[in-house]
Amino acid sequence: MNWKDALSQIDFQQHTRLRFQEPLAKHTHFGIGGEATAYIEVSTIDDLAILAQFHREWKVPVAVIGKGSNLLVSDKGFNGLCIRLIGELANLDVDGTIVTVGAGQSLPGLSKLMSKNGLSGVEFALGIPGSVGGALIMNAGAWGSSFGDVVTDVTVMQDTGELLTLTHDEAQFEYRHSGLEAYFCVITATLKLQPGDVDEITSKMNTLFKQKIETQPFVEENAGCMFKNPPDDSAGRLIDISGLKGHRIGGAEVSTIHGNFILNLDNATANDVLDLVAYIQKHVKEKTGISLQTEVKRLGFG
């Protein structure tokens, strides 16, 4: 029996949905990429534990794709199993100023719900269209805040299917990086937020969102900032002074609003994007001496 047949014979819970040959372009904000051999929306921890064991037993590559907001999928797709977390894996529980949130919850959803609860600390997250799990792994951030700053501990699943709770320090949050990628899947985070006034928190959240839409593209398909910022500088600024805004390869173009965004303007392929990334890296290096490193995750490039 091959792994696809074995997977299709597993008796998952009612709300877990499994599909084969799923186009990944529609699950990414870039709108780019081929098919995943298998794609599953997992609704319970028990089903996720079954998949962890399946992954070990069959040695099938697995990728948890969150909201696909920081992801470039290869034109050939992904020969493995893509997982998205839904249902109880996206739950949210508020107990005073302590919030437990599932990795499948969206960051904008979390930000809005916290403002309604009069809890401050995640106002910056309204403009980041990712999942909590992705934000933990990437230590997503904006406007001087990073998600890891409000996290007290994180529960992850190991590839045995067992759960493990890590402290803030054990999660090893750094700039756009953490130690959490080493585990099979991030499950929940516990956040410590600050009590505050609903109107003030909402106003701060909306101000930061306005700042985002004034300085970053948000209509065209993109995967957020393409490059990490070098120490004490902005990759967008370096791309800008290198004269690369508006540069286009195939259907991919450097945003004219913010240099660190690559837009899928006209059915761009993943190769168009990677060619543009290489072009930017070469020209920024020549102009400024700085080597830009990509921030966007890649899937299916082998």
User: Contact residues for ligand EPU (CB under 6 A)?
Assistant: 142-143, 215, 224-225, 228-229, 234-237, 240, 258-260, 295
Q: Report d(CA 225, CA 296) in Å as an integer.
A: 7
Nearest Cα to Cα of residue 40 among 71, 74, 63: 63
What's the min distance (Å) between Cβ of 242 and ligand EPU? Answer: 10
The DSSP bridge partners found for residue 263 are: 222, 253
What's the min distance (Å) between Cβ of 61 and ligand EPU? Answer: 25
What's the min distance (Å) between Cβ of 50 and ligand EPU? Answer: 33
If you ran DSSP here, which 8-state letter would residue 30 be given?
Answer: T
Query: Which of 167, 215 has the CB closer to ligand EPU?
Result: 215
The answer to whether 55 touches 157, Cβ cutoff 8 Å, is no
Query: Which of 35, 295 has the CB closer to ligand EPU?
Result: 295
Query: Which of 100, 234 has the CB closer to ligand EPU?
Result: 234
Which residues, other chains included, contact 115 with Cβ-Cβ below 8 Å and sequence gap of 6+? 123, 198, 201, 202, 205
Query: Which of 77, 236 has the CB closer to ligand EPU?
Result: 236
What's the min distance (Å) between Cβ of 149 and ligand EPU? Answer: 13
DSSP of 129-191, one letter per residue? -SBHHHHHHHT-EETTEEGGGGEEEEEEE-TTS-EEEEETTTTT-BTTB-SGGGSSEEEEEEE
Query: Which of 103, 142 has the CB closer to ligand EPU?
Result: 142
Query: Which of 20, 175 has the CB closer to ligand EPU?
Result: 175
Query: Which of 55, 258 has the CB closer to ligand EPU?
Result: 258
The residue written with tokens 């499950």 in the block is 187
What's the min distance (Å) between Cβ of 277 and ligand EPU? Answer: 14
CA atoms within 13 A on the CB side of 115: 19
What's the min distance (Å) between Cβ of 14 and ligand EPU? Answer: 36
What's the min distance (Å) between Cβ of 295 and ligand EPU? Answer: 6
Which residue type is seen at 88?
Answer: E
CA distances from 153 to 65, 95, 98, 138, 264 (A): 22, 15, 11, 15, 36
DSSP H helix total and E strand total for the chain: 7, 19
